Amino acid sequence: MLSQQSKESKGINMKNTEHRSQGMRKTLTINAPLSAVWEVLADFDNVYTWAPSVEHSHALNDKSQQVGAGRVCSIKGFGKLNEQITQWNENKGIEFTVSDLGPLKNTLCHFRIKPLTATSTELNMTFEYDLKFGLLGKILHSLVMKNRLNTSLDHTLDAFKTRIETGKLLRPYISPSTAH
């Protein structure tokens, strides 16, 4: 688990800033140079090798490491979703949309990185979304989804940090010819 000094978590109302009604921001210090963090972040199609809830992922199209590139992720307990890159800033960060899932819609995820020192990097992650299903969606979000999302994002960032700092894969790489 990450220490309080290295991680900040906030549930925020994004309505006035990003045109989405809900969101979460997390900041994480990774004990590795920016180039090592970017290498893992830029390997967009292979998120399953380090993210605990992603059982498998593969390219959605023939684009790679650019705006428009996409991936399909099989999420444990949820099914499949598509993610597509909307911003690609080499060695600085990415932004991608996430297909609708449960009561969440219009989801946008940002990963921004910046060097703190030669051997440490700050990661800022923002996860923004709107809710579907009116009042029922708001209740479901309030009772279950918000806490579940927050916990899932914490686990994902813990795994991202571990992958970079140790070099260990959660799952081995699978050849694209056997991936589907």
pLDDT value at residue 180: 52
Confidence of residue 145 (pLDDT cuts 50, 70, 90): confident
More confident residue, 103 or 85: 85
Q: Could you report the per-residue pLDDT of 38-65, keeping only the tens digit for each?
A: 999 999 999 999 999 999 999 999 999 9
Distance (Å, whole) CA 168 – CA 148: 26
Name residue, tokens 């990963």: 111
The ranges assigned to domains in the chain are 20-167
Mean pLDDT, to the nearest integer, of 157-165?
97
Mean pLDDT, to the nearest integer, of 16-32?
84
pTM: 0.85
Assign a CATH topology to domain 20-167: Alpha-D-Glucose-1,6-Bisphosphate; Chain A, domain 4 (3.30.530)
pLDDT value at residue 16: 35
